[in-house]
Amino acid sequence: MRILIVEDEALAARRLRKMVEALEPTSRVEAMLESVSATVQWFRTNPAPDLLLLDIELADGQSFDVFSQVEVTCPIIFTTAYDEHAIRAFRLNSVDYLLKPIQEKELQRSLQKLKDMKRVFSGKAAFPMNIEALLQGLNEQRTQPTDLYRDRILVKQGHRMFPVTSSEVAYFFTKEKINFLQTKDDRRYQVDFSMEELEKSLNPKDFFRANRQYIVNYSAVSKVSQEVNAKLKINLSPTSEEEVIISREKAMEFRHWLGE
pLDDT tens digits along 64-79: 889 889 988 888 888 8
pLDDT band at 50; cut points 50, 70, 90? very high
149-185: pLDDT as tens digits? 888 898 988 888 899 999 999 999 999 999 999 999 9
| Contact between residue 232 and residue 245 where contact means Cβ atoms under 8 Å apart | yes
CATH annotation of 152-258:
2.40.50.1020
Q: So where are the chain's domains?
A: 2-143, 152-258
Question: pLDDT-derived band of residue 260, with 50, 70 and 90 as boundaries?
Answer: low
User: Strand 152-157 and strand 28-33: pairing?
Assistant: unpaired
Could you report the per-residue pLDDT of 104-139, keeping only the tens digit for each? Answer: 888 998 898 788 766 655 544 444 455 555 555 555
Q: Which amino acid is at 117?
A: M
Comparing 20-24, 88-92, 166-170, 207-211, the range with the smallest average pLDDT is 88-92
Query: What is the per-residue pLDDT across 220-255, written as a single tens digit (0 to 9) for each?
Result: 999 999 988 889 999 999 999 999 999 988 888 898
Superfamily of chain region 2-143: Response regulator (3.40.50.2300)
| b/e sequence 22-38, b meaning 16+ C-beta within 10 Å | eebeebebbebbbbbbb
Q: What is the pLDDT of residue 123?
A: 47
Question: What local confidence, expressed as pLDDT, does residue 87 receive?
Answer: 56
pLDDT (0 to 100) of residue 64 = 83
